A and B are shown apart, each in its own frame.
Chain A
């Protein structure tokens, strides 16, 4: 087996994994604390990509564009929460799903109106366009390393915030017993808005990271959000640790499955049979994994503590 290719694919898998984690962490936070199902979470991913794309092009600076885009996406998150989402918390999950489905349509159309239907490509600065020789013979685009590094840094920061700060304490307390946190005099409304906005910011950041590779396009969030759902189902809804582990596993399995499954099938199938069946099976791989996890652990790998 080609080592260089394997390392490249591992890095690609890791890249997908950290992006999924950035999305899934917000989803799982919002669900764990507000008991709210947000289909429109992928819209923040898209909004992040578009806002940063425009800013990068306008300011001619990648770093500045991304730094300015994050607070904008957070603000969009706050607005969404205050206008629409807040009124939905007391409703059941079915209502959440329908209303946030409506939100997706609104976000997609608004993006269509503000930007163009074609999508925007984001140029990378020169110093990120290069390639790095990670191991002898293993050459990777440096921007991929930046994505993985930024994602892992955010994961560490999130871990620190959730487990070592007062805000994190409130988040954990909110996840295990909302009513009690409210009864202890914490402003639950603001906490909810804050958590929702953090989730939006994380999703938006993921969109900004991927925009230079895949371009900002309408509906880009709707595809990845399903995979993010699979991640939190596998990890256990409401669990941050579960989201991280499952995101990395699923990122790796999806990427490696697509590149190696046909070779694997060739071991015991004919060449032709392997080549026709491998793409179909590899597209289904993560769902098969999800089904297997559900058979053995219906609550996911890291089920949240009983509320």
Chain B
């Protein structure tokens, strides 16, 4: 496959394939949809979209190491938490400048990623999964034991980060800041993956020994990639902290890391836009699954099976059960996630 064809496979330049159209459609929708909803008085959708965009940035950052680098981090929620606390703790002392919060996030997350990454990357495979998980749990317990900053109960952020000109105290402005950040994150990952650096990262995923034999210090490459990803995820956390106005250790519980992985895998790991689709799918499921079950129950009720219908309606509070089942089924039967499905449709059409 020529270099050009390879580029087209990841970012559809020239002939825009189905995946390209989906990406354009989703981004276009995110650009105007939430604002329209806000103007029409449906502020809820603006909130949902802000959360979606923040989590998408985190998923895109995780995809950089998981999808392209083959480093299965089960501790990425720690960076979201660290980023959020880098906004919350200074705000607690009335330092509200965004020019303090965001550089602090970058330094703290970068250092944490550098130290833990240096240790984690000494190991491979399942050790790596568990160690990243354990380090994120360490951060979790660290914040749980900090009584000064609310411990378990969390900390309210009274003022969002202050920037000149851009006032993110306004929900719409904050949303567009997040949205532009997402575009930037996707572009950065695109540039990284197609650079010489990114080739080395992808190379050491498929055959590390060969990369080393060719003369690459794969450890240094991977560590750099790990730090970039951590900083990016921390940035997403800082945005998320600003959005929710509230932070708690619960944000970095290991199940949160699992959800981030879910987004990457369901969307399609190792594809540029997959994680955004995954985040979309995750939030839609979280938001809509209970309603869908209720609707199903209502339908049965209308058909005359009122008891069964009521039973199904009552079941809607157990939507996580369905969620777990979907997760297992995705792993077993839909490899490559949403992006993989789109890709196979694309291929079938071309043939």
Please say whether chains A and B are actual partners in one complex.
Answer: yes
A interface with B by C-beta (< 8 Å): 31, 37, 39, 84, 87-88, 91, 93-95, 97-99, 101-106, 108-110, 112-113, 222, 226, 229-230, 232-233, 237, 276, 279-280, 282-284, 287-288, 290-291, 294-295, 298-299
Complex formed: what's the CA distance from A266 to B220 in Å? 40
A-B contact pairs, 13 of them (CB 8 A): A37-B129, A88-B332, A98-B327, A229-B133, A237-B126, A279-B145, A280-B145, A284-B141, A287-B135, A287-B138, A288-B138, A291-B119, A298-B127
Assess the A294–B321 pair: CB atoms within 8 A.
no
Q: Nearest 8 CB-CB pairs, A to B?
A: A105-B324, A102-B327, A287-B138, A283-B141, A109-B321, A106-B324, A102-B324, A279-B145
Residue tally, chain B, CB below 8 Å to A: 42
User: What chain A residues lie within 8 Å of B129 (beta carbons)?
Assistant: 37, 93-94, 97
List residues of chain B with CB within 8 A of the CB of A95.
331
Instruction: Count how many pairs of residues, one from A and one from B, have CB atoms less than 8 Å apart in the complex.
Output: 122
Are B142 and A93 neighbours in the complex by a CB distance under 8 Å?
no
Q: Which of the 9-residue segments B17-25, B182-190, B255-263, B340-348 touches chain A? A: B255-263
**Closest chain A CB from B23 CB (angstroms):** 24
Q: Does B148 contact A (CB under 8 A)?
A: yes
CA distance A194 to B82 in the complex (A): 42
Q: How many Å lie between the Cα of A105 and that of B289 in the bound state?
A: 15
Establish whether residues A280 and B331, one from each chain, have CB atoms under 8 Å apart when the complex forms: no
Indicate if the CB atoms of B324 and A37 lie closer than 8 Å: no
Report Cα–Cα, A298/B119, bound state, in Å.
9
B99 part of interface (Cβ distance < 8 Å): no
Do A102 and B328 touch (CB < 8 A)? yes
Interface set, chain B 40-85, CB cutoff 8 A to A: 66, 72, 74
Q: B residues within 8 A CB of A283?
A: 138, 141-142, 144-145
What are the residues of chain B within 8 A of A222 when measuring CB–CB? 254-255
For A109, what are the chain B residues with a Cβ–Cβ distance below 8 Å?
Answer: 318, 320-321, 324
Is B127 a contact of A104 with CB atoms below 8 Å?
no
- In the bound complex, CA of A84 to CA of B122 (Å): 32
Which B residues lie at the A interface, using CB under 8 A?
66, 72, 74, 119, 122-123, 125-127, 129-131, 133-135, 137-138, 141-142, 144-148, 254-255, 258, 261-262, 265, 318, 320-321, 323-328, 330-332
Is the CB–CB distance between A98 and B331 below 8 Å? yes
The closest CB in chain A to the CB of B317 belongs to A112
Given the known interface contacts A97-B72, A279-B145, A298-B123, the answer about A226 and B133 at a Cβ–Cβ threshold of 8 Å is: yes
Contacts of A276 in B (CB 8 A): 148
Min distance, Cβ B128 to any Cβ of chain A, angstroms: 9
CB distance B134 to A99 under 8 Å?
A: no
Q: State whether A101 and B134 are in contact (beta carbons under 8 Å apart), knowing that A109-B318, A109-B324 are contacts in the complex.
A: no
> Residues of A contacting B145 with CB < 8 Å?
279-280, 282-283
Interface centre among A39, A112, A287 (most CB of B within 10 A): A287
Which B residues touch A39, using CB under 8 A?
258
Give Cα A212–Cα B19 distance, bound, in whole angstroms: 55
Task: Give bound CA distance, A209 to B328, whole Å.
Answer: 31
Contact A99 B321 (CB under 8 A): no
Task: Verify A105–B265 contact, CB threshold 8 A.
Answer: no
Q: A233-B130, A283-B138, A283-B142 are in contact. List 4 more A-B contacts (CB 8 A).
A: A39-B258, A102-B328, A106-B328, A280-B146
Q: Given A280-B142, A287-B134, does the pair A99, B331 have CB atoms closer than 8 Å?
A: yes
Closest to A232 in B: B130
Q: Do A113 and B324 touch across chains, with their CB atoms under 8 A apart?
A: no
Query: Is the pair A84, B131 in contact by a Cβ cutoff of 8 Å?
Result: no
What residues of B have a CB within 8 angstroms of the CB of A298 in the complex? 122-123, 127
Give chain B residues whose Cβ lies under 8 Å from the Cβ of A112: 318
Q: Which residues of B contact A226 (CB under 8 A)?
A: 133-134, 137, 254
- In the complex, the answer to whether B122 meets A294 with C-beta atoms within 8 Å is yes
